[in-house]
A and B are shown apart, each in its own frame.
Chain A
Amino acid sequence: MDHRPQAWGRPRDDVYGPYDASYLQTSGPKTATQSPVVTGTSVIAIKFKDGVVMAADNLASYGSLARFTDVKRLRPFLSTSVVGFGGDVSDMQYLDRHLTELAIDEAYEHESSAAGTSGGAPGGQLNAANLHKYLSKLMYRRRNDFDPLWNQVLVAGFDGAGKPFLGSVDLRGTAFAAPSLASGFGAMLAQPIMRRHAATDADAAALSREQAVQIVRDCMKVLFYRDARSLDRYSLAVVTRDGVEISEDERLEQQSWAFAERVRGYGTQVV
């Protein structure tokens, strides 16, 4: 007789073999995002005289699979700023919902303030610089919790002084601003092209809107040629003081793959 009540009525190991409880052990350590899953590639942006131009292609990749080919990675904020997302798409969608909420709160705030005695002067809402700061705090907080939002985010719009603003935040909360910015592959391929035209803020202030758009289009083409996780359909946003224009169905025109034959050093073509 086994005196342990726990043993009563149980199958004996020497008859049935030890019980395999492995299927019950569902819980390993609690997991946060450990690596991005469905991802968007580069986002690029450049400042010009009256604002900022930003572009990102419409692809969401699942590893090397071109999984979703109609994903919009640029979104407006309060029709004064544009946010572009690279990296994990689900985290992008989370941020998108979060920013929508923030924008609604801010719009209410603005409405009640405008009703004051001093009249409804424009401004007063969160500008791009404020939004950039906010996002950097959000991302930094998540990295401190070891639960990062796996994105690099570009924020375009205007700062408190009314000058064009372009800033970036990454998954560690590192925040910075520059006349031109690019995330992911764009940092290697597009940034040198953009810096040729806008090395400093003064250079950027000499660019017209048409020039800036053209530079960005050229960069998107280079990226499509060289970045295997890119698409020839992309979104283009232009932020000016008049507001935000986003066109989400741009196509790369005049592609020429003639250069591809001459690419050497990859795969079987060693020389």
Chain B
Amino acid sequence: MFRNNYDNDSVTFSPQGRIFQVEYAAEAVKQGSVVVGIASKTHAVLVAIKRNAEELSSYQKKLFPIDEHVGIAIAGLTSDARVLSNFMKQQCLGHRLTYGRNIPVRTLVEMIGSKAQINTQHYGKRPYGVGLLVAGVDDHGPHLFEFQPSGMTEEMIAFAIGARSQMARTYLEKNVAKFADCDREELIRHGLRALKESLVQDRELTVDNTSVGVAGSVKADDGSVKVEPFKVYDGQDVAAWIESVADDKEGGASAGEGEGEGMEVDS
């Protein structure tokens, strides 16, 4: 019987030049529920679908504030995300302590990138089983970054990761030209519409399963910049936004939930 001999650790390449452990970690990301991020000239938005393991359980958090100017959305193993989140929080506090300023978002993202990369090159280590969207604002304005278990990080205009996120990405690609000039509310609505695209047939956005996170830096007429700290909205706080995208025609949701079995993901 065929057996893959090149996936026992993350330090061995397959003859095709692949590192299977890292690819498997990327699969874990695809099992997490979908999260969407969009950045405009003034705001960076994260929206997420929360899942509950069963009707009686609570919903697993998807958005985490890191520092006043940065937040993350996670898809994959929540516990791995918590490790990264704690690390990022420490880096933000440390940077503020030494320089008295917000850490530039790119610097922060590159830090977790380097941290995650180490796990892909050391025997006995396991790559992080989580993908992140990092949204934040710094002196250069709003930013959205994607982070993958391989350690790859990239700045994005808009992106979605997680289960069935291809649907959301298709929506984002279609509307990408509009995002730069969107105001805060429009940007959130675009995010929610993208989220709806990737929902399965009989599910919809509710106040229970939807999270929205926003950070902004709006330039006033006098040249001063007003920073809106990253804040997560849940429950009734997102009701109005959900309502505002409820009338849109149903997205092209098709059958088949792309969720795997067995692995414990953020359900």
A and B touch in the complex (CB under 8 A): yes
Contact B97 A137 (CB under 8 A): yes
In the complex, what residues of B have CB within 8 A of residue A222's CB? none
Which positions 115-162 of chain A face chain B at CB distance < 8 Å? 116-121, 123-124, 126, 129-130, 133-134, 137, 160-162
Most buried by A among B107, B138, B139, B143: B139
Once A116-B140, A123-B139, A124-B140 are accepted as A-B contacts, the answer to whether A137 and B104 lie under 8 Å apart by CB is no
Q: Is A249 an interface residue (CB 8 A)?
A: no
In the complex, what residues of B have CB within 8 A of residue A113's CB? 104, 106, 138, 140
Interchain nearest-CB distance for A236 vs B (Å): 28
Contact A118 B141 (CB under 8 A): yes
When chains A and B are docked, how far (Å) is the Cα of A173 from the Cα of B223? 34
Q: Is B4 an interface residue (CB 8 A)?
A: no
In the complex, what residues of B have CB within 8 A of residue A119's CB? 140-141
Interchain nearest-CB distance for B259 vs A (Å): 32
Q: Is A112 an interface residue (CB 8 A)?
A: yes
Contact B99 A117 (CB under 8 A): no
In the complex, what residues of A have CB within 8 A of residue B107's CB? 109
In the complex, what residues of A have CB within 8 A of residue B143's CB? 116-118
Interchain nearest-CB distance for A199 vs B (Å): 26
Q: Is B15 an interface residue (CB 8 A)?
A: no
Q: Is A114 an interface residue (CB 8 A)?
A: yes
Once A113-B104, A113-B138 are accepted as A-B contacts, the answer to whether A118 and B99 lie under 8 Å apart by CB is no
Chain A residue at smallest Cβ distance from B137: A118
Chain B residue at smallest Cβ distance from A122: B139
- The number of inter-chain residue pairs (CB within 8 angstroms) is 54
Contact B106 A116 (CB under 8 A): yes
Chain A residue at smallest Cβ distance from B100: A133
Interchain nearest-CB distance for A221 vs B (Å): 36
Q: Is B5 an interface residue (CB 8 A)?
A: no
Contact B140 A121 (CB under 8 A): yes
Interface string of A157-177 (1 = CB under 8 A from B): 000111000000000000000
The interface size bin for chain A is 20 to 34
When chains A and B are docked, how far (Å) is the Cα of A133 from the Cα of B98? 6
Interface string of A195-206 (1 = CB under 8 A from B): 000000000000
Contact B98 A112 (CB under 8 A): no
In the complex, what residues of A have CB within 8 A of residue B139's CB? 121, 123-124
Interchain nearest-CB distance for B205 vs A (Å): 27
Q: Is B27 an interface residue (CB 8 A)?
A: no
When chains A and B are docked, how far (Å) is the Cα of A113 from the Cα of B143? 10
Interchain nearest-CB distance for B134 vs A (Å): 13
Interchain nearest-CB distance for A227 vs B (Å): 33
Q: Is B39 an interface residue (CB 8 A)?
A: yes
Most buried by A among B99, B140, B142: B140
Interchain nearest-CB distance for A102 vs B (Å): 10
Q: Is B178 an interface residue (CB 8 A)?
A: no
Interchain nearest-CB distance for A99 vs B (Å): 13
Chain B residue at smallest Cβ distance from A125: B139
Interchain nearest-CB distance for A219 vs B (Å): 29
Contact B100 A117 (CB under 8 A): no
In the complex, what residues of A have CB within 8 A of residue B157's CB? 117
Most buried by B among A124, A130, A162: A124
Which positions 107-122 of chain B face chain A at CB distance < 8 Å? 107
Contact B106 A130 (CB under 8 A): no
Contact B140 A160 (CB under 8 A): no
Which positions 222-240 of chain B face chain A at CB distance < 8 Å? 223-224
Q: Is B101 an interface residue (CB 8 A)?
A: yes
Contact of A112 (CB < 8 Å), options: B39, B99, B106, B224: B106
Q: Is B155 an interface residue (CB 8 A)?
A: yes
When chains A and B are docked, how far (Å) is the Cα of A62 from the Cα of B41? 57
Once A116-B106, A116-B155, A118-B143 are accepted as A-B contacts, the answer to whether A130 and B99 lie under 8 Å apart by CB is yes
Most buried by B among A109, A112, A118, A133: A118
Contact A130 B100 (CB under 8 A): yes
Interface string of B90-107 (1 = CB under 8 A from A): 000000011111001011
Contact B104 A124 (CB under 8 A): yes
Chain B residue at smallest Cβ distance from A112: B106
Contact A137 B98 (CB under 8 A): yes
Which positions 55-113 of chain A face chain B at CB distance < 8 Å? 109, 112-113
When chains A and B are docked, how far (Å) is the Cα of A137 from the Cα of B157? 37
In the complex, what residues of B have CB within 8 A of residue A133's CB? 98-100
Contact B101 A130 (CB under 8 A): yes
Chain B residue at smallest Cβ distance from A161: B224
In the complex, what residues of B have CB within 8 A of residue A123's CB? 139-140
Known: A113-B104, A118-B142. 9 other contacts (CB 8 A): A109-B107, A113-B138, A116-B140, A116-B143, A119-B140, A121-B140, A134-B99, A137-B97, A160-B101
15 A-B pairs in the complex with CB atoms less than 8 angstroms apart: A109-B106, A109-B107, A113-B104, A114-B140, A117-B156, A118-B41, A119-B141, A121-B141, A123-B139, A124-B104, A134-B99, A137-B97, A137-B98, A160-B101, A161-B224
Q: Which 5 A-B pairs have the closest CB atoms?
A: A124-B139, A118-B141, A133-B100, A123-B139, A130-B99
